[in-house]
Amino acid sequence: DSGVTQTPKHLITATGQRVTLRCSPRSGDLSVYWYQQSLDQGLQFLIQYYNGEERAKGNILERFSAQQFPDLHSELNLSSLELGDSALYFCASSVWGGNTGELFFGEGSRLTVL
Partner 1 sequence: AQSVTQLGSHVSVSEGALVLLRCNYSSSVPPYLFWYVQYPNQGLQLLLKYTTGATLVKGINGFEAEFKKSETSFHLTKPSAHMSDAAEYFCAVTSSGGSNYKLTFGKGTLLTVNP
Name the site residues for partner 1 (rule: CB under 8 A): 2, 4, 31, 33, 42-43, 45, 48, 55-56, 58, 90, 92, 94, 97-103, 105-108
55 or 73: CB nearest partner 1: 55
Q: How many Å is the Cα radius of gyration of the chain? A: 13
14 or 40: CB nearest partner 1: 40
d(CA 27, CA 110): 24
**Minimum distance between the CB of residue 63 and partner 1, rounded to whole angstroms?**
21
Contact 76, 23 (CB under 8 A): yes
**Minimum distance between the CB of residue 22 and partner 1, rounded to whole angstroms?**
15
DSSP β-bridge partners for residue 19: 78
Q: Name which of 33, 63, 37 is nearest 47 in CA terms.
A: 33
11 or 103: CB nearest partner 1: 103
Beta pairing class for 10-13 and 109-113: parallel
**Minimum distance between the CB of residue 101 and partner 1, rounded to whole angstroms?**
5
**Minimum distance between the CB of residue 83 and partner 1, rounded to whole angstroms?**
22
State whether residue 4 is helix, strand or coil: coil
